[in-house]
Chain A
Amino acid sequence: MYVAVKGGERAINNAHKLLAEQRRGDKDIAEIETDQIEQQLSLSVTRVMAEGSLYDRDLAALAIKQGRGDLIEAIFLMRAYRTTLPRFAFSKPIKTAEMDVSRRISATFKDLPGGQILGPTFDYTHRLLDFTLMANGEAPSEAPSGEQPVDENMPRVLDDILNYEGLIQDEPVPVEENAPVADLTREPVKFPAGRDLRLQNLSRGDEGFVLALGYSTQRGYANSHAFVGEIRYGTVSVEIEPEELGFAIDIGDIELTECETVNKFKGSKTKLPQFTRGYGLVFGQNERKAISMALVDRAMRANEMGEQIMGPAQDSEFVMEHSDNVQSTGFVEHIKLPHYVDFQGELELVRRMRAEVEERLAKSEAENGTSQPEAAE
């Protein structure tokens, strides 16, 4: 039960002023600009875009500044902003096969066409703090260039290489290509959920939650031993087909990370043993999230593969109902807001129950002349 309580207005205003002051921090230190965040904290920016489910680097940088670096707060701000905008169109499905890759690796094939392209990665760094960054040291030297640019059309490991022998399942394309695509921002989620809805949910799901579930599948809470067939990160162009034009136009590039996993499938009465697939696709550069998403996507395909449900990652309803950090934080944190009346009710109830027990005890003591041991002890 909620009742209006007045009197907090001045305190709230002053609390927000104090928040603004603390956000700014020591005034002797230069104020951080949003374009510095956009450029130099770019992985925070991409996480906020992915989980805020809105690709806009400047807005994400602003949200991070306003949220004092609290990324879930920033994601919340992005979600709130997106509700104010009209939706012009759906894009044509982006073509990750034509991605301009900045990174592309496979853990399943060493010598693959196009090669192993490391790109800007933390892998193979020693994870030692670099104090030159703190000492405002010299600007990094420019990265070296190869003689030839990287291949424009990088073959895809699963479709172009592994599928050669039919060793991996095809990605089924619905017979009706223009069948409606589920959209959790417009309709309530219903279960069982199709893969379209599951992928949308995972892509905007909390990185930590999806990571933990992905990890759980590796530790045995789902039977889907996975290899990373391919990870690619880079830019793809987005195309829409506005009605007033009647043809597709390219509206700009977005950064994406894609991961395809290869999982074992021992076959069934009707199918030969073959590899199965998990898919991860997220805004920005975030392969931790993309790999985790692919693991959980594969785990959630348990029903389709006729697998026994053994772990939480295979339970679509559990995963999808708890993956959204704005929803989760809203419900978890709301219990700190005034519940004075609810609690008064609880208080009355506990007092009444105690009184009843005490009355009963007193009565039986009077009848038997001895006290009974208390049931609660």
Chain B
Amino acid sequence: MTAHPAPNARTNQNRNADTPTDPQIAARQKWMSVLARTSRARLEAQWSENHSSENWTHLREPQIGMVMVRGRAGGAGQRFNLGEMTVTRCAVTLSDGTVGHSYVKGRDRIQAQYAALFDAVMLRDGSASNFIETLATEQATAKRDHARKVAATKVDFFTLVRGDD
């Protein structure tokens, strides 16, 4: 049976419902999401190469905790608590008073600290824009490469025609 997508499907209506209208917030959300997916080694190397002269202090020391992940029954219905995940958060203050925050998956305190530092630097003057851009491109490429491997496992149905004509 061939299936047709419904024009007024609820899941489509819900999509991108959280897209913020404030472009500054949107930009910050973007770089925070990129930083949360970047390894500690990568962040550390970039910081020591380009930002090691910064003076900064911890506003909040890196702290390990959890986030309770929520799902929805049937994907779109009643909310429920699925289970927890480990998360590390950190907040830093640059010498001019700019505060950077991070919440990243996992238990790497150093990763969380550098994520907060880059957040602060980006807020102050955007001086890590190129780095963020590079990371975003790499992450998008990795995602696309994986999605292409997945696509190679798509079933190509064909119909065998039997009989003489």
Nearest Cβ in chain B — how far from A165, in angstroms? 9
Residues of A within 8 A of B4 (CB): 113, 161, 164
Most buried by A among B73, B87, B91, B144: B73
Once A and B bind, how many residue pairs between them come within 8 Å at the CB atom? 276
Given contacts A113-B3, A181-B79, contact A88 B9 (CB under 8 A): no
**Stretch from A53-61, A65-73, A307-315 forming part of the interface with B:** A53-61
Given contacts A85-B66, A88-B65, A245-B101, contact A147 B148 (CB under 8 A): yes
Interface size class of A (residues with CB under 8 A): 35 or more
Q: What 1/0 flags go to B20-46 for Cβ under 8 Å of A?
A: 100001000100110011000000000
Given contacts A85-B65, A112-B3, contact A117 B33 (CB under 8 A): no
In the complex, the answer to whether B6 meets A94 with C-beta atoms within 8 Å is no
Nearest Cβ in chain B — how far from A74, in angstroms? 15
**Stretch from B10-18, B47-55, B127-135 forming part of the interface with A:** B10-18
User: Chain B: interface secondary structure?
Assistant: mixed
**B77 on the A face (CB < 8 A):** yes
Q: Which of A144-176 contact B (CB under 8 A)?
A: 144-150, 152-153, 155-164, 170-174
Given contacts A59-B86, A254-B69, contact A159 B146 (CB under 8 A): no
Residues of A within 8 A of B14 (CB): 95, 97
Interface size class of B (residues with CB under 8 A): 35 or more
Partner of B83, one of A55, A93, A149: A55
**A212 on the B face (CB < 8 A):** no
Q: Which of A185-200 contact B (CB under 8 A)?
A: 185, 195-197, 199-200
Given contacts A160-B6, A182-B80, 13 further A-B contacts (CB under 8 A): A87-B68, A95-B15, A109-B2, A113-B3, A117-B151, A117-B154, A119-B153, A144-B149, A148-B151, A149-B144, A196-B78, A279-B75, A283-B83
16 A-B residue pairs with CB within 8 Å: A54-B66, A56-B107, A82-B66, A87-B68, A88-B103, A97-B14, A102-B150, A115-B155, A117-B154, A145-B151, A160-B11, A171-B78, A238-B105, A244-B101, A247-B20, A247-B29
Residues of B within 8 A of A (CB): 1-6, 9-12, 14-15, 18, 20, 25, 29, 32-33, 36-37, 63-87, 89, 91, 101, 103-107, 143-155, 157
